[in-house]
Structure 1
Amino acid sequence: MPAPTAIVVHGGAGTSRDNEDGCTRAAGLALAALERGGDALDAAVAAVVSMEDDGRFNAGTGSVLCLDGQSIEMDASVMDTHGRLGCVACITQVQNPVLVARAVADSPHWLLAGDGATRFARNGGHPPYCQPTDKARAAHARLIAQLGDRPEFARLWNYQRALEESGERACDTVGAVVRGADGHFAVASSTGGSAPSLLGRVGDTPIIGSGFYAGTDGAVAATGIGENIVRHLLAYTVYQWIAAGTPIEQAVQRGIDLFDPAVAVGLIAVGKSGHAAVSNRPMPHAMIC
């Protein structure tokens, strides 16, 4: 008997629950992709594209501005149980990084970064796109006003513009995990980066086993501060617990409990017989199971 489908979508640990309608819409589009005959990866990508286009989430259109007030660097990833794996890091001037990551999965490589990733996107038909939202500009202005409390950024500054020309911290990710009716699993994630951060900073989102993982026993996506998440190989660690038979809600909560409560972190997961979404901060999410 075919397994029931399961879709879990999140909009980022620490993001307003007022944005949950965007997650609900994304989950609905994932389901529509499955109903059209798409597989689990098609569904996960459809959900993430929807959130990249929303503008309220820190991904795609809603990505944060880097400290120079001009640059936007984004990361994205996809993976499924059919062996497809693709990621981009520090890609610029594209509207949907997750679609570029999906294209990388069909290339000879698994990860492309920086200018190479952007050129790959252009060759694949993705037009230039860089339209920071008013929300991103306002957040950047507040961040610059608070930088007096973060002297390390002045010391390590690596932008072309001086610091003088250019508090709160953005570390959100959007993600989706899917179990298809055929029992296969997929995960897709995207982020507009972290603020404050130096140019070229890469978090957990495009790092296999840290921000995402999918295997024959399930799929896991993480959200939060990447510098902390990668130290625990969080997504793969939780996946291993699920594969070993730990109930999925218990495995996800165990992953959250690895972190000091002061560190924002969230997880979503699907397994052969369950699904879960847990965070130590408000985290907009949606489930169709």
Structure 2
Amino acid sequence: MSNKQPGWAIVIHGGVGEPMDCQDGCERAAERALERLREGGEALDAAVSAIVVLEDDGRFNAGTGAALGLDGATIEMDASVMDTRGRLGAVACVRDVKNPVLLARSVAETPHCLLAGEGADRLARALGLSPHPGPSDRQREEHRKMLHELIGSMPAMPGVDNGQFAQFWNYNVPLQLPKRAKCDTVGAVVRDADGNFAVAASTGGSAPSLLGRVGDTPIVGAGFYAGPEGAVAATGIGEQIMRHLLARTVYQWIADGMPLQQALQRGVDLIDKRYEVGLIAVSRQEAGHATNQSEDMPHARIIGR
């Protein structure tokens, strides 16, 4: 192996299907990741810093912008981190954390890899992490739109009969009968100057969804993966991404020598076109993104030495 390092690379996404006017948020996140690298941080430090920017933005379905559950009150968030130094942490169904990615990063220092629900929220309190500020007016409006979609004939979530949400309703309040399903994730993949790789991801979950639903974001190999040959993050309908262990599958193709862009395109082609999906990745020499939709997803890329 050559001793020459390829330099650092950063790729950020703001969620497939998110409007491109959120592009500036991804660019700010990428700049923050770059600052962290220049400050001497490792790849994981940079990836987590980028996700914090997106969680705090309010426009993305993560952190302060997380989607409301069907009851109009519950917020359940997932997040994950992984790097080539062996650190792996994830949280699922957390409710009262401003920055779930920071909690996932903390889990990576515990004896466990994944904490969920009340236990994860209690750890956040013990660590002094900021609580979630509660839903904004924008989130409440998104919820109103979603309920209108549920009473219509078009699926509020691709491939799912709207009536199933009423059939399996499991919130504490009765169902009170939007344009598209909210299923976005924010993600960051980073290669630092020493050739280490890291990935971080965060999501406000899918809307509509049943209480306690967990998607691909905290599932290692599905929504995220990092190994000695690169890092991959996925975004889209988690139930489809999990079926293909998409991030790990794409990573293996890259590790086997497939050009990165070809591997990303092959990955998105695994998913039926009815379901939005996007991927970002970095390898030893490349960095890029792909989506199976005609419209792009907000993203940013910075490459340097």
Question: Which range, TM-score by smaller chain?
Answer: over 0.9
- The alpha-carbon deviation at position 173 of structure 1 amounts to 0.3
CA distance in 2, matches of 1:200, 1:74: 10
Match of 1:71 in 2: 74
Structure-to-structure mapping, 1:10-89, within 5 angstroms: 10-89=13-92
Question: Once the 2 structures are TM-superposed, how far is the Cα of residue 12 of structure 1 from its aligned partner?
Answer: 0.3
Per-residue deviation, 1:126: 1.3
| Residue of structure 2 in register with 1:207 after alignment | 219
Contact map agreement 2:63 2:132 (CA 8 A) in 1: no
Query: Who is 1:146 aligned against?
Result: 149
List aligned pairs for 1:75-154, cutoff 5 A: 75-149=78-152, 150-154=162-166
Contact 2:99 2:130 in 1 (8 A): no
Give the corresponding residue for 1:182. Answer: 194
Give the partner amino acid of 1:288: I
Look up the match of 1:284: 298
Q: After alignment, is 136-145 or 18-27 more displaced?
A: 136-145
Amino acid across the alignment from 1:168 = R
| Match status 1:263 vs 2:278 | no
> Normalization by structure 1: what TM-score?
0.98
For 1:68 and 1:164, the matched residues in 2 are separated by: 8
State the AA in 1 paired with 2:217.
T
> CA RMSD for the aligned pairs?
1.0
Q: Which stretches in structure 2 are left out of the alignment for 5+ residues? A: 153-161
Q: Unaligned 5+ residue runs, structure 1?
A: none
Q: State TM-score, norm by structure 2.
A: 0.93
Report deviation, 1:130. Answer: 3.4
Q: Residue 88 of structure 1: CA displacement? A: 0.2
Question: Who is 2:171 aligned against?
Answer: 159
Is the CA contact 2:22–2:59 (under 8 Å) kept in the aligned structure 1?
A: yes
Q: Percent identity?
A: 61
**Match of 1:71, as an amino acid?**
T
Q: Which residue of 1 aligns with 2:210?
A: 198
CA displacement 1:156-189 (0-9 Å, x = unmatched): 0000001128x53000000000000000000000
